[in-house]
Each structure stands twice: as structure tokens, then as C-alpha cells.
């Protein structure tokens, strides 16, 4: 689903997503990895083992 330019078929559903995220009714799985774990994070993406989004923490 592309929320930047949602098509007509998902536009109505997409409008409610921000509120559901704010209230916790909808959650997004995020894996955070330090920059030193870049290779591991990339392998998890390649293998399909990653759950949700994979984020590299550069801080």
C-alpha cells in the first residue's frame, strides 16, 4: 500500500490509519539495528526473516 498516492480502492481505508496508529489499535513492527549490524540487517531483509520494517540506527 502506498499512502503517498493511495488509489481510489484504498483511499477510504487509508484515511483512518493515522488515528489507528495514534491510539494503538494498529501497530507497526520495526526491527532496529545499529550501523555495526548492517550486514545482519541486510541478510534478514534478503532472507525474508525480518519482521516489519528494518531500521538502521545511526545515532
The C-alpha cell 483511499 sits at 11
The C-alpha cell 493511495 sits at 6
The mean per-residue pLDDT over the stretch 27-50 comes to 94
* DSSP 8-state symbol, 46: H
Band of residue 17 on the pLDDT scale cut at 50, 70, 90: confident
Domain boundary assignment for the chain: 8-57
Q: Which residue has the higher pLDDT, 3 or 37?
A: 37
CA atoms of 27 and 21, how far apart (whole Å): 6
Amino acid at each position: 500500500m502506498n499512502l503517498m498516492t493511495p488509489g481510489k480502492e484504498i483511499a477510504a481505508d487509508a484515511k483512518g490509519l493515522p488515528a489507528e496508529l495514534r491510539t494503538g489499535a494498529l501497530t507497526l513492527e520495526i526491527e532496529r539495528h545499529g550501523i555495526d549490524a548492517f550486514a545482519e540487517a541486510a541478510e534478514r531483509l534478503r532472507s525474508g526473516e525480518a519482521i516489519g520494517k528494518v531500521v538502521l540506527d545511526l545515532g
